[in-house]
Each structure stands twice: as structure tokens, then as C-alpha cells.
Amino acid sequence: MITRRLIQLSWGLVLYGFSMALMLRANLGLDPWDVLHQGLAPRLGLSFGMTVNLVGLVVLLLWIPLRQRPGIGTVLNIIVIGTVVDLSLPFLPAPAGYPWRFAFLIAGIVLNGIAGGAYIGAGLGAGPRDGLMTGLARRTGWPIKLVRTAIELSVLATGWLMGGTVGVGTVLYALTIGWVVHYALPFFTLLYKDNGPQPAAPAQL
């Protein structure tokens, strides 16, 4: 069972990174965290993917005062996703014309949701950003939806001020990603052999 879960976790993270590359190439707007990553990358002198990994590591350090416990999925999230983005971009030409750009965007969002369902469903540890959300909610007593909204708006505004791309893709992602993950997660959630509890599903990666 653990081998199956590790395989699912691995391809889910790889697909997640590839889906991010698709949305980058569409250039129609990114999700809030990627707006932040895009704004930070030139200021740090790093590639987009390495910025994703670095931000993930910094966010993981914020788990310490929140007393969150990472799993192998948390660690691989930091290593794999950004690396796959950087490896994918050279093989994805910038689409010409709005039809192709929207095709890249929609494919990126759908694959992102499927990948999220796969890697969360493996139950081997939340991503750094999800752990920050759940940790803050537990320590403050605020509802998840309020904490999630505050984090997303904060990183979106910061990334936009630094030059990250905000556009129709940002809105479309916000409106649809929850639905995609909602339907993908039950399909990929794995039951333990002892019929114990299923892995908890964070709101998003």
C-alpha cells in the first residue's frame, strides 16, 4: 500500500508542476501563490521553479511555531514541483493567439486540480502552503475559509505589486479549482488496509 501511495504522490506532484508550466505559458493570469512566485523570481535572481521551491521551504519554516508536522509529501512538494516547472518550460512553446492561450490555461487548471487530488489523496503530508493555512486556523481559532482568504489575498497583492501576472486566468482558477479538486479527490483517496481514517483533504495545494 505504501508503494502505491508513494507512486501516486510522485506523479501527482510531477503533474502539478507541469500544469503550472502550462498556465505560465498561457500568460493570462496565475493563481495567487504563482503571482507571488513570478513577482519574486527576478528580484531573487532565480528561475520561477526555484523560487517556488524556495518559498515552499520558507513557508515550511513557519510551521515550527505553529507546531505542524511535515510528512514525506511535504518534503517532496518543496523539491519536485518547482523543479518540474523549470524542466517543462523549455518544451512548452508560448502559444500563438488567444484560442491556444486559453487552451493552455484550461488544460493547466484541470490538470492542476487532478494533480492536487492525486497528491493529497495519497495522504503522505500536506503541502507547505496548506499546512500554513491549517496551522494558522488551529492556533487562531479562525475558520479555514477566513484564514485561506486572508493568505490568498495577501500573497496575490504582494505578487501583483512586484509584477506578477494577474488576469482572467487568476479569476478562472479561483472559481474552478475547488470544483476540480472536489471531484478528483474522492477518486484518488486511498483507504488504509486497516480501514482506518482516510487522508484529510486540505482546501487546496
pLDDT band at 199 (very low <50, low <70, confident <90, very high): very low
Question: What integer is the mean pLDDT of 18-44?
Answer: 96
pLDDT at 130: 84
pLDDT above 50 (res 108): yes
Question: What integer is the mean pLDDT of 46-62?
Answer: 96
For the entire predicted model, the pTM comes to 0.87
pLDDT at 190: 64
7 phi, psi to nearest 5 deg: -65, -45
Write out pLDDT tens, residues 118-133: 988 888 988 898 888 8
Q: Do the Cβ atoms of 115 and 204 come closer than 8 Å?
A: no
pLDDT above 60 (res 112): yes
